[in-house]
Structure 1
């Protein structure tokens, strides 16, 4: 296995087990966010529960973020380097293509600051734009 992949895990204080290395390697090869079932199919044979726990560990340590794109299934994508344990610093827009049903991170499109009334405490923000991606419009 690639030592760069192992180092990414170590840098995030994640023990580089065989499954974690496989999942991270698979995620690094994706061009869009991906569902748990797609990861499972891509690295089979693999235990769904182990992959899920791996993704939750990655999310907790700031290596991936989950995306609720309205499809009913969370998708996962790699975080920006600035993210760390419990603090995701990559609040950006996500784009869901209604044609190919892929979800893309748009890191250069930041979520605007939202002014909330007093005593409203935001815990999470998600902005999904739905439309047709550049691959499907060609």
Structure 2
């Protein structure tokens, strides 16, 4: 993706476009699966782990990406839709392949509305399906 498009994406989320932020955003945009900090660190071997982590946290705080706990013990990150507010009612499902260990966003499958008891407040929600992806099944 061109740098000017990446810069615009960051500015639209009120994120200052630094060189590292542009690199991480470019990698996330090119990925069909959610990526962990370790995945990004391997691909960006010149970058400092802490800097990548801080970049991911900045992206998450500004609702550019969301984190996924897929049960592997490693948090993965994926881009949000442009209109995403990252609130529990906008949460979509994820699919974790138990064969290749990849995690996919299922953006067309949203969690149903849940009516909680009085004085309960949702802070986070997650819906992860586990099985074999189409690539591993083939």
TM-score bracket for the superposition, by shorter chain length: over 0.9
Q: Which stretches of structure 1, 4 residues or more, deviate above 4 A after TM superposition?
A: none
Residues paired across the two proteins, number = 135
Richer in helix (by share): 2
Instruction: Give unmatched runs, 5+ long, in structure 1.
Output: none
Structure 2 SS opposite 1:66 = strand
Q: After TM superposition, give the deviation of residue 115 of structure 1 in Å.
A: 2.3
Q: Who is 1:27 aligned against?
A: 28
Q: Who is 1:137 aligned against?
A: 137
Structure 2 SS opposite 1:69 = coil
Q: Who is 1:99 aligned against?
A: 99
Structure 2 SS opposite 1:136 = helix
Q: Who is 1:45 aligned against?
A: 46
Task: State yes or no: 1:123 paired with 2:120.
Answer: no
Structure 2 SS opposite 1:41 = helix
Q: After TM superposition, give the deviation of residue 44 of structure 1 in Å.
A: 1.7
Q: After TM superposition, give the deviation of residue 112 of structure 1 in Å.
A: 1.1
Please report the RMSD computed on the Cα atoms of aligned residues, expressed in angstroms.
1.1
Instruction: Give unmatched runs, 5+ long, in structure 2.
Output: none
Normalised to the residue count of structure 2, the TM-score between the two structures is 0.94
Q: After TM superposition, give the deviation of residue 18 of structure 1 in Å.
A: 0.5
Structure 1 SS opposite 2:124 = coil
Q: Distance in 1 between matches of 2:129 and 2:116?
A: 21
Matched-pair contact (CA < 8 Å) for 1:26–1:43: no
Matched-pair contact (CA < 8 Å) for 1:20–1:54: yes
Normalised to the residue count of structure 1, the TM-score between the two structures is 0.94
